[in-house]
Structure 1
Amino acid sequence: MANTPSAKKATRRIARRTAVNTARRSRIRSFMRKVEEAIASGDVNTAAEALKSAQPEIMRAATKGVIHKNTASRKISRLASRVKALAD
């Protein structure tokens, strides 16, 4: 348990940041799930639109430090290649 006032403040700050990061991670997963569902249904236009909206959200999470930059790029790349394969 935190004893000093600064340690107590740090604990409160960590709790706030954890809540924000959890919400961001959940938001990323929701956007990615929409792309996955569009790919599964075979609808090219819906999949492309979902990818277009998911891309900035994933990169924003990388900018904010929720996920690593390379992880974000990898996720976007894999989704984009699957959408492109669906279009062909």
Structure 2
Amino acid sequence: MANSAGSKKRARQAEKRRQHNASLRSMARTYMKKVFAAIDSGDQAAAQEAFKAAQPVLDSSVNKGIFHKNKIARTKSRLNARIKAMA
């Protein structure tokens, strides 16, 4: 456990940051799940709309350091490929 005042403050800040990052990560995953759900329902228009809504959220999560850029690029590519395959 932290002893000095500075290390106690660092521990508090780290916990606050961890919770904030967890919230952003959860939100991004929820948007991904919405796209997967629309794809599974078979509605291409709904899937396309969900994908359009998810893209900026996923991209901003990369800029904030929540996910690695290649992971999000791979995810977006796979989602888009599945949407196009529905046609």
Considering the TM-score relative to the shorter chain, is it more than 0.5?
A: yes
- The alpha carbon displacement at 1:6 in A equals 1.0
**Is 1:64 aligned to residue 64 of structure 2?**
yes
**Alpha-carbon displacement from aligned partner over 1:6-58 (angstroms, at most 9, x marks no partner):** 11111011111111110011101110111001000100000000000001111
Provide the residue aligned with 2:34 in structure 1: 34
In the alignment, structure 2 segments of 5+ residues that lack a partner are none
Provide the residue aligned with 2:76 in structure 1: 76
**Is 1:18 aligned to residue 18 of structure 2?**
yes
Provide the residue aligned with 1:55 in structure 2: 55
Letter of the structure 2 residue corresponding to residue 60 of structure 1: S
Letter of the structure 1 residue corresponding to residue 57 of structure 2: E
In the alignment, structure 1 segments of 5+ residues that lack a partner are none
State the Cα RMSD in Å.
Answer: 0.7
- The alpha carbon displacement at 1:68 in A equals 0.5
